[in-house]
């Protein structure tokens, strides 16, 4: 670049309450703006923000960051899906029973209650991070790895998501959340949410995508669980076989493992569920896995938009969640209380709760039952 040219990258982290006040001047070189969430609070505010930015910068200059797109195993998803013969023929409604995309965090909202109370767990985690993961799990193979081709496919997935049914949602708020002085005593903000997203296309029709996120829980993890359909139990060798399940653990300790049924070692012909395990810490001992932000900021300098959210993608994401968010904001759907360091509201697991028809978990319950049928302790809990 000639010495007289100047390239600039701005990192913006603005709440939607503030009107953008930026100007663009041509100093030669490149100008890029890195925009941090929140990208609005709903469809209209996000579109306003996009319009304001769009007046100042071209889309190719705008880098909307979702740091989940910088995580090692999220970046691995395309390779995993499209470079392995194992998965290509199985990755569809004929073979997959459900997909679970889960975020759990032990910490609560301490220190950022004021921000969080305005947004809640759906805007904070599900509408962006988990939805981006869903796109990569569900999308068709892009015609190339060019950013536009990948993002085109993600948009198609988002546009195929059906309206979320109020009957397939469980919301929670941990006890003590409102004790934070920056949180309203009567806050209706969910700190836990699980819901089913349904993708209306040829590959995924009928397959529930179960999204789950919560704070102040008993564990911290982010993972994708792909549960395959049952096989007929031909051999009748004891208890019902567990399902094949492919787990991609994004954090902590990146790992992928495939749960499968094998003969229990020994004289008897009985079965046991075991795992094929690829734990990164063991397998790639010398590898340095960069922080998500390290990668993404480097991408902005390189001018690679593959792992950033495009305007139409953002719009489609808000279209999915805005009706539900407005229902919650208007107090028409209430979060259930749950204890800190628990799994969240018991109702998200056991299906015993059905107030005013808003929360109904037949499908969630069915999935839990399927999973735990062969575990006597958990089966009793369901
Ligand atoms: N690299 C690794 O870490 C590897 C681990 N393994 C081993 O594989 C085995 C199986 O792993 P994995 O299936 O992941 O572990 P778990 O047996 O702990 O199963 C976790 C799943 O069960 C759900 N669950 C747990 N408790 C309940 C409950 N009370 N009600 C409803 N759902 C519940 C969790 O839901 P939710 O998502 O909501 O928490 C999650 O989907 C483990 O023994 C593990 O140690 C094997 C290979 C590699
Ligand atoms: O964007 C956010 O993400 C963090 C969790 O990020 P992770 O990389 O540790 O999984 C979450 O704590 C925070 O509430 C949210 O705004």
In sequence order, which residues have a C-beta less than 8 Å from that of residue 153 and are 6 or more positions away? 135, 139, 140, 141, 142
Residue 52: C-alpha distances to residues 18, 39, 49 (Å): 12, 12, 5
- 158 inside domain: yes
For ligand 2, the distance from its centroid to the CA atom of residue 298, given in whole angstroms, is 20
Name the residue at shortest CA distance from atom 44 of ligand 1: 275
Task: Locate the ligand 2 atom nearest the alpha carbon of residue 103 and give its number.
Answer: 10
Cβ of residue 153 lying under 6 Å from some atom of ligand 2: no
What are residue 53's phi and psi, to 5 degrees?
Answer: -65, -40
**Predicted complex ipTM:** 0.96
Cβ of residue 222 lying under 6 Å from some atom of ligand 2: yes
Give me the pLDDT at residue 1, please: 46
- 376 inside domain: no
Number of structural domains the chain divides into: 1
For ligand 1, the distance from its centroid to the CA atom of residue 166, given in whole angstroms, is 27
Ligand nearest to the CA of 66: 2
Looking at residue 126, the DSSP 8-state letter turns out to be I
- 295 inside domain: yes
Which domain CATH number covers 142? 3.30.360.10
Task: Locate the ligand 2 atom nearest the alpha carbon of residue 37 and give its number.
Answer: 1
3-state per-residue secondary structure call for 180-195: CCCCCCCCCCCCEEEE
Identify each DSSP E strand in the chain by its residue range.
8-12, 31-35, 62-64, 96-104, 169-174, 192-198, 208-214, 221-228, 245-251, 255-263, 271-279, 336-338
Q: Which of 130, 277, 284, 374 for a ligand 1 pocket mutation test, highest count of atoms within 8 Å of Cβ?
A: 277
Nearest to 103 by CA among 215, 28, 268: 215
CA–CA distance, 293 with 273 (Å, rounded to integer): 37
Element (H, E) at 134: helix 131-138
Give me the pLDDT at residue 12, please: 66
For ligand 1, the distance from its centroid to the CA atom of residue 244, given in whole angstroms, is 13
In sequence order, which residues have a C-beta less than 8 Å from that of residue 104 and are 6 or more positions away? 212, 213, 214, 217, 218, 219, 220, 221, 222
Is residue 158 helix, strand or coil? helix
Cβ proximity of 157 and 333 under 8 Å? no
Q: Which of 18, 67, 129, 326 is catalytic?
A: 129
Give me the pLDDT at residue 28, please: 72
- 236 inside domain: yes
In sequence order, which residues have a C-beta less than 8 Å from that of residue 361 and are 6 or more positions away? 168, 170, 347, 348, 351, 353
Q: Which of 75, 109, 124 for a ligand 2 pocket mutation test, highest count of atoms within 8 Å of Cβ?
A: 124
Give me the pLDDT at residue 373, please: 38
Is residue 337 helix, strand or coil? strand
Pocket of ligand 1 (CB under 6 A): 102, 212, 225, 247, 255, 257, 259, 275, 277, 279, 343, 349, 368, 378, 381
CA–CA distance, 77 with 65 (Å, rounded to integer): 18
- 353 inside domain: no
Looking at residue 237, the DSSP 8-state letter turns out to be -
Ligand nearest to the CA of 111: 2
Range of the domain at 221: 8-348
- 139 inside domain: yes
Cβ of residue 124 lying under 6 Å from some atom of ligand 2: yes
Q: Which residues pair with 274 in a beta bridge?
A: 260
Give me the pLDDT at residue 352, please: 42
Length of the chain: 382
Q: Could you please report the per-residue DSSP string of 64-75?
A: E--GGGGSHHHH
For ligand 2, the distance from its centroid to the CA atom of residue 146, given in whole angstroms, is 27
CA–CA distance, 379 with 232 (Å, rounded to integer): 20
Give me the pLDDT at residue 347, please: 83
Cβ of residue 105 lying under 6 Å from some atom of ligand 2: yes
Q: Which residues pair with 60 in a beta bridge?
A: none
- 359 inside domain: no
CA–CA distance, 94 with 363 (Å, rounded to integer): 18
pLDDT tens per residue across all 382 residues of the chain: 454 556 767 676 655 444 455 555 566 788 899 999 999 999 999 999 999 999 999 999 999 999 999 999 999 999 999 999 999 999 999 999 999 999 999 999 988 878 999 999 999 999 999 999 999 999 999 999 999 999 999 999 999 999 999 888 999 999 999 999 999 999 999 999 999 999 999 999 999 999 999 999 999 999 999 999 988 766 665 566 778 999 999 999 999 999 998 999 999 888 888 999 999 999 999 999 999 999 999 999 999 999 999 999 999 999 999 999 999 999 999 999 999 999 999 888 754 433 323 333 444 434 433 433 344 333 333 2
- 343 inside domain: yes
Give me the pLDDT at residue 29, please: 82
The sheet carrying 271-279 orders its strands as 271-279, 255-263, 245-251, 221-228, 96-104, 208-214, 192-198, 169-174, 336-338
Is residue 288 helix, strand or coil? coil
Active site residue 18: no
């Amino acid at each position: 670049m000639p010495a007289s040219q100047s390239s600039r990258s701005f990192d913006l982290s603005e709440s939607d309450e503030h009107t953008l006040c930026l100007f663009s001047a041509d100093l030669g070189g490149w100008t890029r703006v890195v925009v941090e969430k929140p990208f609005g609070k709903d469809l209209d505010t996000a579109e306003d923000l996009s319009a304001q930015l769009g007046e100042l910068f071209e889309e190719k200059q705008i880098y909307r960051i979702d740091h989940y797109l910088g995580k090692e195993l999220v970046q691995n998803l395309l390779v995993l899906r499209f470079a392995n013969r194992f998965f290509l023929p199985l990755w569809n409604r004929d073979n997959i029973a459900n997909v679970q995309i889960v975020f759990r965090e032990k910490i609560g909202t301490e220190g950022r209650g004021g921000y969080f109370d305005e947004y809640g767990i759906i805007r904070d985690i599900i509408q962006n991070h988990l939805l981006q993961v869903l796109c990569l799990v569900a999308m068709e193979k892009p015609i190339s790895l060019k950013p536009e081709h990948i993002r085109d496919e993600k948009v198609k997935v988002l546009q195929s998501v059906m309206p979320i049914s109020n009957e397939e949602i469980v919301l929670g708020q941990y006890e003590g959340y409102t004790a934070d002085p920056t949180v309203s005593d009567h806050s209706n903000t969910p700190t836990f949410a699980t819901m089913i997203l349904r993708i209306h296309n040829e590959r995924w029709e009928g397959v529930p995508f179960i999204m789950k996120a919560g704070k102040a829980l008993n564990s911290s993890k982010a993972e994708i669980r792909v549960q395959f359909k049952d096989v007929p139990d031909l051999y009748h060798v004891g208890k019902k076989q567990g399902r094949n399940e492919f787990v991609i653990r994004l954090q902590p300790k990146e790992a992928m493992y495939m749960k499968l049924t094998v003969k229990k070692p020994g004289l008897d012909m009985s079965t046991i569920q075991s795992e094929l395990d690829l734990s990164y810490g063991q397998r790639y001992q010398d590898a340095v896995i960069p922080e998500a932000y390290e990668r993404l900021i480097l991408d902005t300098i390189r001018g690679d938009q593959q792992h950033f959210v495009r305007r139409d993608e953002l719009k489609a994401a808000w279209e999915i969640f805005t009706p539900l968010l407005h229902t919650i904001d208007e107090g028409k759907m209430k979060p259930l209380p749950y204890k800190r360091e628990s799994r969240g509201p018991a109702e998200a697991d056991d299906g015993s709760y059905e107030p005013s028809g808003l929360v109904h978990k037949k499908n969630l319950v069915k999935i839990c039952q399927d999973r735990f049928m062969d575990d006597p302790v958990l089966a009793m809990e369901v």
